[in-house]
Structure formats: structure tokens, C-alpha cells
Copies of this chain bind each other. A is one copy, B any other.
């Protein structure tokens, strides 16, 4: 019944505990069971003391058994194991943390949990960390820096052993918070300069550059750009990629074709609405993320326009359903698996102490996935 478990707690306690489950245990070996002593507690949760008393051994032996830190005789192991089951003992992480200084918990904040990109990364990070024996405390800042800072503060207070941050943005508080902690921190998705911590990010400039070049190659000259938050590295770098592509093609950018958004669907809707009702409207739209493109598609639909007939659309971030519904969206996919795994590994390495003193910044490449949402711009047909 207890089985091997899903490898979850592989290197946590109970390792040897698992090895000798069951097996007719001699209940006659119990000592007197001095009930007077340990019954003075407030909460009903059984403690190691209870286990020790029930098993008729000392508390140190119980601890040694649970942590596998010392050799305990087979007979006592049996007694302790039986006592644990009998009284339903569960170890107290608070006490353990207080003593050891570690919680085996990692804090993770992302800018928006509803964004499939973050969801994927979270799932991977979670998996790797769980496998290594860490729990994950997840927060979504919903693209709100103040909320994010509060969450980081809360996580730090909860004594997490380390932090993975997918920042909503960077303000002075964020910086101060990260700088002031000695816990290892790794940034994902959005870089924050000058923090001196590990990071796993995308080469956003190159990613968008390639996508825009593709659009350019199709013949588009007026390409609307729905930008992410200006204060974020991703917002900034992606816009840079757009500008660079235009510059490379010798096109003087029309500032009216760039709209600010904050990576949320509603922003994409508004931006696309504005863009597509321009006197001279763009023939293509590029959205700096996946959520905004949904808003953009909604705007296009509300305007009675068709994609790619009236306007080509492409965006950053792939999503699972992008290739089964139409228009099948052309996207730049991020290597979510690698991002999650690398971020977790970076943190685990810092925790283990086997990492170089200088911060490691991993820059991954995106992959342009060409589907059917982009076409050559057509001269406006009749009606």
C-alpha cells in the first residue's frame, strides 16, 4: 500500500521506513507507556516524543531512524515503525526547519498563471523540484509589480530555500528584496539587469526579428506591433527586434503602428482595435505574447475582418491548440521544457553549492513555427 511512491520523496526521510513496512510486529515489546509525561501538549498532533514513548525508545533514536542519520537496530526500527503507524505520526516541518534552517520549499512567482507559457514552465519546474525533494510555493503576480513584491516578501518570510521569479516587472522594491536576501534566486523569462543572479531567458530580440523578417518576406510593409509592458525586458527586447527587422529592411518605422500593452488579453483587443481602424491600416499584426493575440483575434472578428485574408497575424509564444483551430497561428515557440528544467537545475545547483560564484545567464533561442495565419498582403479587393 505504501509502495515506492512516485519518486517524489526520494531523498527525503522515511527512506528506510519504506523498506520494512508490514511484517507481523511484536506488540508485546512495549514498555510501560508512561502516559503522564507527553500529554500536556496543546494541539493533538502526535510528536516524536509520543512515538518514542509508544515504541519505548528515546526520542533521539526515533529521529535517527527517521532521518537515517545513525544505525538503529532492527528490532527498534520495527518498534518505531509500528509506533509511527499506530499513532499516525507525521513530522513537523516547522520544528525541523527551525532547527535545520532549511524548509525544502522553493518559492515561485510568475507574471500570470493563466498564461499557458507560464503554466508549462511551472509544471516543469514543479516536476523537477518535486523529484529533488522540494515543494513549490507558487504565486501569480498578475502582471502587478506591487503584488509581486508583496509575494516575494511573503515567500522570503516563509523561509523558502530559494526563489524562482518570472517578474511582472522591476521596481526598486523588487531589486532591494532580491539583493537583500542570501537565498539563491533565479530569474525566468524576464531579465532584471544588475541583480547578479542566475537567469534563464529567451533571445527575444532575435525571436521577434525572425518573425518580422518572415512577415517582411511575405511582402508586408505596414506591420502593426502590439507591445508588451515597456518596463520589462521582454517588452523592451521584443520591440527592439521589431524595430531592427524594419531597419534592416530599410523601412522607416511608423510610430503609430506600435501600441503598448501589458501582456493581457484586454490590451491586445484594444491595441488591435486601434490599429485596424487606422485610416491606413496595417496588413499584418504581431503580438508580443499569446494572451494579447487572443484579444487581437477577437478585435479582428468584431471588426468583421478575416485572417489572413484582411490581415496576417503572428505572435510570440506557442500554445497547444494553435495548430488545430483556424486560423492556425504562426508563432514563435519558446523552449518551455528547457526553460523550466534549466531554471530548476540552476537553483538546485546553487542550493547544493556546486555553482560558480558568478551569476549564470542562459539565453535560449525561440523557434518560428509557420502555420497559416500569415499570407502575402493583398491589394484591397472590391468590398
The answer to whether A1 has its CB under 8 Å from any CB of chain B is yes
The answer to whether A357 has its CB under 8 Å from any CB of chain B is no
Cβ 8 A contact of A6, one of B1, B88, B92, B150 = B150
On whether A9 and B150 interact (CB within 8 A), knowing A90-B157, A126-B139, the answer reads yes
The answer to whether A58 has its CB under 8 Å from any CB of chain B is no
The answer to whether A114 has its CB under 8 Å from any CB of chain B is yes
Distance of A333 from chain B, by nearest CB (Å): 15
On whether A320 and B43 interact (CB within 8 A), knowing A5-B150, A120-B114, the answer reads no
Which of chain A's residues 100-121 have a Cβ closer than 8 Å to chain B?
101, 103, 105, 113-114, 116, 119-120
Interface residue total, chain A, C-beta cutoff 8 A: 67
Bound form: Cα–Cα A123–B114 in Å? 7
On whether A326 and B325 interact (CB within 8 A), knowing A105-B158, A150-B6, A151-B8, the answer reads yes
Distance of A218 from chain B, by nearest CB (Å): 21
Would B172 and A1 count as touching, CB distance under 8 A?
A: yes
Distance of A136 from chain B, by nearest CB (Å): 7
Q: Which residues of B contact A92 (CB under 8 A)?
A: 98, 159
The answer to whether A25 has its CB under 8 Å from any CB of chain B is no
Q: Which of A48-56, A228-236, A252-260, A294-302 contacts B (4 or more CB under 8 A)?
A: A294-302
Would B114 and A150 count as touching, CB distance under 8 A?
A: no
Closest partner residue, chain B, to A158 (CB atom): B93
Would A136 and B135 count as touching, CB distance under 8 A?
A: no
Say how many copies of this protein the assembly contains.
2
Which of chain A's residues 269-327 have a Cβ closer than 8 Å to chain B?
294, 297-298, 301, 320-321, 323-327
Bound form: Cα–Cα A98–B159 in Å? 13
The answer to whether A216 has its CB under 8 Å from any CB of chain B is no
Chain A binding surface SS class: mixed
Bound form: Cα–Cα A137–B103 in Å? 13
Bound form: Cα–Cα A116–B182 in Å? 35
Interface string of A60-81 (1 = CB under 8 A from B): 0000000000000000000000
Q: Which residues of B contact A1 (CB under 8 A)?
A: 172-173
Q: Which residues of B contact A90 (CB under 8 A)?
A: 153, 156-157
On whether A94 and B98 interact (CB within 8 A), knowing A1-B172, A265-B320, the answer reads yes
The answer to whether A40 has its CB under 8 Å from any CB of chain B is no
8 pairs, A vs B, C-beta closer than 8 Å? A9-B150, A44-B182, A90-B153, A90-B157, A114-B119, A297-B321, A325-B325, A325-B326
Q: Which 6 A-B pairs have the closest CB atoms?
A: A325-B325, A94-B97, A8-B150, A138-B138, A297-B324, A94-B98
- Taking beta carbons and an 8 Å cutoff, which residues of A are in contact with B? 1, 3, 5-6, 8-9, 42-45, 88, 90-95, 97-98, 101, 103, 105, 113-114, 116, 119-120, 122-123, 126-127, 130, 135-140, 142, 144, 146-147, 150-151, 153-159, 172-173, 180, 182, 265, 294, 297-298, 301, 320-321, 323-327
